[in-house]
Amino acid sequence: MDLNILILLPNQFKNTKIMDKIAVNVNSEIGKINGVIIHTPGAEVENMTPENAERALYSDILNLSVAIPEYNEFVGVLKTQTQVFEVANLLKTVLEIDSVRENMLEKICEHERRSQKRYNLCNYIKTLSASSLASQLIEGVEMQKGNLTSFLDIERFSLSPLPNFFFTRDASFTVGNNVIISKMANKVRDREALIMETIFSKHPLFQTTVINPVPEFDNSGRGTIEGGDVIVAREDVLIIGTGNRTTTQGIDSMIEYMKTKPGIKHILVQELPFKPESFIHLDMTFTFLDKDQCMVFEPLILNSSRYLSIHITIDGDKVASIKEEKSLLLTLRKLGIDMEPVNCGGDRDLYFQEREQWQSGANFFALEPGKVIGYERNVHTINNMNQHGFEIVKAADVVSGKVNLDDYKKVVVTIKGNELSRGGGGARCMTMPLAREQVNW
């Protein structure tokens, strides 16, 4: 990994152990992973109720006591392969800087101004220590019932919990040396993006430039983009889904951003259905597995006549062409990325394909080329991968040391995911890569 030694730290970090500074760099989906940010789900998930679940973008309530063992197994595999950083720990560190803390509180109070007027939220959170503030910004702040209005209010929280935050892919994503801050489609997730922006802008560990393309380039007010819809195929090729969470205006903002980069760049756009909710992001239908293999939901990616695949070519600071293509994979092949599709749910039965796509069966995270993590429960998908050359190993065996992934050329590590998948995402959703090694295509 490209590291620079961090010699000096601000006074706020004088008691912190000297760390290597991480040069953020992601130019593919499959290069060997050299650092990832995760968030272990906690009280914010337990704070969900049937009443607020839909507002929090959930169709069900997760059982944290069941989800945590599954999640710990997932993180245990990651830790055998790379550096793993927790959002809460990173946030606590930057909130110890007075100027960062004040700036974040100002932005939160502005965003939650109605709550501030009604429940004196800001006066309360300003009194919290860095550690408590970091926790409550994620877990939520319970409403202080100090007057009649608040006493009669049916809301439990004056600052709502962030139960989606364990899907760290969504609020920010890495393109090259830059971290792109998402413009979330739903305001209930805005604080996630603010937290990630603060971490990447202010934490001394990260060497990167933070980019906010939608606020900078979109004048329509309709621009949104989320990390689950953005796939870095190659240094010069982005694939972006447009649907429920990423608008065409959001993609236009990425076009404008890519114009600031030299050379010829390609953005491949895949239209997604707005319903059912399992099509929330592109990575629920398409992910890279190896240099020559990808996981696809066949009815959409290969056989759809209703949802367009569009190829945008950017040459320097202008759009050279925009044209419809027959399919995403055919367009990648034209660009020298020849992918063999592996079908989510198997090859034979649409019923199994639809069921397993719903269960995040197409959502895989690559540790390196040919070595990926996914949900064990999607048995038809996993068996199909085995038929395409992937050995199957259990996450528990990797964590215990019984299995060494270095002994395999192609392997899928399976985590149970019976509870985690009910949150509406998979292994890729639960990871925010910091750096990957270059891929020799």
Could you read off the pLDDT of 105-146 as tens digits, one per residue? 999 988 776 544 445 788 899 999 999 999 999 999 988 777
Tokens standing for residue 346: 């198997």
pTM (predicted TM-score): 0.92
- Structurally, at CATH architecture level, domain 26-89+162-433 sits in 5-stranded Propeller (3.75)
CA angle 334, 244, 357 (to 5 degrees): 70
What is the distance between the alpha carbons of residues 186 and 375, in angstroms, rounded to a whole number? 27
Residue 68, pLDDT score: 96
- Roughly how many angstroms between the first and final C-alpha of the chain, as a whole number? 19
Higher pLDDT, 109 or 218: 218
For residue 296, give the nearest of 350, 361, 246 by alpha carbon: 361
pLDDT in tens, 259-312: 999 999 999 999 999 888 889 999 999 999 999 999 999 999 998 888 999 999
Nearest to 196 by CA among 114, 282, 138: 138
Q: What's the mean pLDDT in 21-41?
A: 97
Range 194-200 average pLDDT:
98
For the segment 45-87, what is each residue's pLDDT rounded down to a tens digit?
887 666 655 554 455 678 899 999 999 999 999 999 999 999 9
Q: How far apart are CA 217 and CA 255, in angstroms?
A: 9
Q: What is the mean pLDDT of residues 238-259?
A: 97
Q: Is the pLDDT of residue 226 over 80?
A: yes
The rounded distance, in Å, linking the Cα atoms of 7 and 19 is: 8
- Which is higher by pLDDT, 142 or 198? 198
Of 383, 390, 392, 393, the closest CA to residue 410 belongs to: 390
Report the side by side order of strands in the sheet with 178-181: 172-175, 178-181, 209-211
Paired residues of 159 in beta bridges: 141
- Mean pLDDT value across residues 142-171: 86
Sheet holding 340-343, edge to edge: 286-288, 293-296, 340-343
Alpha-carbon 258 to chain mean position: 20
Cα 390 to Cα 382: distance, rounded to the nearest angstrom: 9
Contact 224, 246 (CB under 8 A): yes
Distance (Å, rounded) from C-alpha 57 to C-alpha 128? 28
Of residues 167 and 122, more confidence is placed in 167
Is residue 17 scored above 60 in pLDDT?
Answer: no
Q: Residues 325, 311: contact at Cβ < 8 Å?
A: yes
Nearest by Cα to 294 from 245, 331, 254: 331
| pLDDT value for 42 | 94
